[in-house]
Structure 1
Amino acid sequence: MINVGIIGSGFIGPAHLEALRRLGFVQVVALCDSELSQAQEKARQLNIPHACASVAELLAHPDLHAVHNCTPNHLHAEINRQILRAGKHVFSEKPLCMTPQEARELVALAERAGVVHGVSFVYRQFAMVRQAESMMRAGSLGRLFAAHGSYLQDWMLLETDYNWRVDAALGGASRAVADIGSHWCDTVQFVTGRRITEVMADLSIVWPTRKASAGGSQTFVHDPHARYEDKPVSTEDFGSVLFRFDDGSRGSFNVSQVSAGRKNRLTFEVNGSERSVAWDQEVPQQLWIGHREQANQLLTDDPGLLNRDVADSAHFPGGHIEGWPDAFKNMMAQFYRAVQAGNMPERPLFATFHDGADVMYIIDAIVKSHQQRRWIRIER
């Protein structure tokens, strides 16, 4: 068994735990949170044998092989440093860190440590996203012309919607782009096999001041009796980005956390000289394939219908529902197969610190483009 520790017990930590338990050969032996009582209570609820209140204590746990960093954004860089210096395999929530400088440092640390390193870009793990990537790599789409799409949510639609991510000191200089645009960029770069090299961005803050609950009520919880205090907002709610790939092809995408009715709608379309493909995360088991001179197709994730190199990413016969938790399991399975082998694969399907850093460079360029009102080249 591979022994794992998780740092952070909010929404995403238990999601990591569930996926790891489904693998069968990984066990979570310790949970860390900033307050010992909270860590102990959460560990009891989740049936994790040990709880601690410091990263150092977690890293000192006997026979610990890997650590998952599931903390808020501003803690990612320092905790990732600690894990790497302890020589543990590390799986980090995204974003990898807060700045391009931190990203370069963490990549160098990971390479020197010689450990397996991953970042939680989960959308590349859906069976139909992998099918699109396989088709692109095999040449069945032809020459890449363009890619476009969006990632739309509505959880920040109201003036009274507030979360730690709104605070730039905790969430970073970018919010919508860094939080969900990062997923879009990673997914589309994975599918196309191309790198975004230049961006032109226009970002928008629709609530320059938000009303935060003085009692600190949880995100997504409506309290009609809450008292509110005004909080200035410096990070974007909406953004539009034009971009260029390294092969000269073009693209665009929108991100929004204020699109009423859109809960978690990541969509992309890739146009090639032979055919197109399109995918919608809210209908994740279908891949639209567009043709010029024959009827369009709607491919579903029946393992018998997928390309042979991606069939293992769909786990049940056609017609059985699979979604985000199953993609999360795919991601963990790939990462822990590498941990079992003891080294990084030559061509990992899971996102690595290199991929996490690459997206940080894109986010940095998008912010600069908006501020300077011009095209900005990605500095890798």
Structure 2
Amino acid sequence: MSTAGSRLRAAVVGGGFMAEVHSRAARAARAELAGIVSSTPERSAAAAERLGIGRAYASLDELLADDSIDVVHVTTPNALHAEQASAVLAAGKHVVCEKPLATTTADAEALVAAARGRTATVPFVYRFHPMVREARARFASGAAGRVLTVSASYLQDWLLASGDDNWRVDSAQGGRSRAFADIGSHLVDLVEFVTGDRVTRVSATKKTVFTERAAHSSITTEDAVAVVIETAAGAIGTLLVSQVAPGRKNRLLLEIAGSEESVGFDQEQPETLWVGRRRGSLLVPRDADQLSEDAARLCVVPSGHPQGYQEAFAAFVADTYAAVAGEEPDGLPRFTDGLRAVRITDAVIDSAESGTWIGLEQNA
């Protein structure tokens, strides 16, 4: 392991798009990108060359045997997360594991137990937009009042046509849920994070638009999900998740009505927060001088210079590394949050398949 005061040595498992995002964030957080492993030695070498990473490992076992590695980023397909993250923890290393944390609740629970004594985080990175923190601060301070209703959606169009395909549509690789596990998990995490409230019941319906795609047949994972929610504090709301919404590239929209004011955040327009009032609604800019302390902390460039997803990801990784160093960053999503998302995903799919309301334990 690295010695105190030295740069963390990070390694990446997986060589796709998310490996690129994680590697950029790790560099921004001043880690040394020491190694990478992909599905084959050849792909590992190609990924190391493409991403400028110091060493390509022939296997995960070889990577984990390297005592100089401090933290491992797992960015592989969903079905591999539990086994690989468990191996990282067993090797005595800290871990960042892509969501979903696991494809079953039992595996996610086992990972939470295995992570005790280690920093183990899940990239619910939309928490790290400054204007999300500003929305959270308004509810935490009481300025927004008590939560009344939630209207939230996460819409994409990358699987709009039958010829669009990806490993995620295959339940053997992605798990029983696709759209909700992939992006709905972000949405419900933000609802609970911003409000400080917990979803207690869900009633859902789901739709698989294409059961046949370019390289997959007999597809059972969903393209879209609609969910009605109730919360512990008595709020009600709706969540709409779709990967077949034309023109929407990554439109995460969150509008929460409190008894005093509403807040609205659009991830495709992350520089402002709408604050709705009966009189005097306003659009708050991402300007550190006008924001709560927690939101201002995440402003890494001056107002008027846009920042977005990659900066949010970098802030998440920086807080993860701060936790490795013994700090306690506020709002850091840990494996317990990943487990919460898996439980809610299961409840949503169970509800859609049974046609009934499904309850959730408030503290689970």
Match of 1:256 among 242, 246, 251: 242
Shift of residue 23, structure 1, vs aligned partner: 1.9
Aligned mates of 1:309, 1:152 — CA distance in 2? 28
**Aligned 8 A contact 1:128 1:284 in 2:** yes
Match of 1:334 among 306, 319, 335: 319
Q: Which residue of 1 aligns with 2:309?
A: 324
- The range that moved more, 175-184 or 55-64, is 55-64
Q: Which residue of 1 aligns with 2:199?
A: 196
Q: Which residue of 2 aligns with 1:11?
A: 17
Shift of residue 187, structure 1, vs aligned partner: 1.1
Aligned mates of 2:93, 2:86 — CA distance in 1? 10
Shift of residue 211, structure 1, vs aligned partner: 2.5
Q: Which residue of 2 aligns with 1:186?
A: 189
Q: Which residue of 1 aligns with 2:169?
A: 166
Shift of residue 54, structure 1, vs aligned partner: 1.5
Match of 1:37 among 18, 21, 42: 42
**Aligned 8 A contact 2:256 2:262 in 1:** yes
State, as a whole percentage, how many aligned pairs show the same letter: 42
Q: Amino acid of the residue matched to residue 149 of structure 1? A: A
Q: Does 1:246 align with 2:232?
A: yes
Shift of residue 377, structure 1, vs aligned partner: 0.7
Q: Amino acid of the residue matched to residue 368 of structure 1? A: D
Aligned mates of 2:125, 2:178 — CA distance in 1? 18
Match of 1:363 among 321, 341, 345: 345
Shift of residue 310, structure 1, vs aligned partner: 2.1
Q: Does 1:22 align with 2:28?
A: yes
Q: Which residue of 1 aligns with 2:273?
A: 287
Instruction: Calculate the aligned-residue CA RMSD, in Å.
Output: 1.1
Displaced runs of 4+ in structure 1, greater than 6 A?
Answer: none
Secondary structure of 2:284's aligned partner:
strand
Shift of residue 371, structure 1, vs aligned partner: 0.9
**Aligned 8 A contact 2:152 2:239 in 1:** yes
Shift of residue 309, structure 1, vs aligned partner: 2.8
Q: Amino acid of the residue matched to residue 353 of structure 1? A: F
Q: Which residue of 2 aligns with 1:223?
A: none
Q: Does 1:47 align with 2:52?
A: yes
Q: Amino acid of the residue matched to residue 208 of structure 1? A: T
Aligned mates of 1:47, 1:77 — CA distance in 2? 27
**Aligned 8 A contact 1:289 1:296 in 2:** yes
Q: Does 1:373 align with 2:359?
A: no
**Aligned 8 A contact 1:31 1:39 in 2:** yes
Shift of residue 194, structure 1, vs aligned partner: 1.2
How many pairs does the alignment contain? 356
**Aligned 8 A contact 2:177 2:221 in 1:** yes
Q: Which residue of 2 aligns with 1:270?
A: 256
Q: Which residue of 2 aligns with 1:69?
A: 74
Q: Which residue of 1 aligns with 2:4?
A: none
Match of 1:311 among 288, 296, 303: 296
Aligned mates of 2:201, 2:109 — CA distance in 1? 19
Match of 1:352 among 324, 334, 339: 334
Q: Which residue of 2 aligns with 1:91?
A: 96
TM-score, normalised on structure 2? 0.96
Aligned mates of 1:317, 1:140 — CA distance in 2? 26
Q: Amino acid of the residue matched to residue 292 of structure 2? A: N
The CA deviation string for residues 88-136 of structure 1, in whole angstroms up to 9 with x for no partner, is: 111100000001111111111112xx00110011111101001101111
Shift of residue 315, structure 1, vs aligned partner: 1.2
Aligned mates of 1:298, 1:201 — CA distance in 2? 33
Match of 1:207 among 174, 199, 210: 210
- The gaps in structure 1 that reach 5 residues or longer are 213-229
- The range that moved more, 202-211 or 155-164, is 202-211
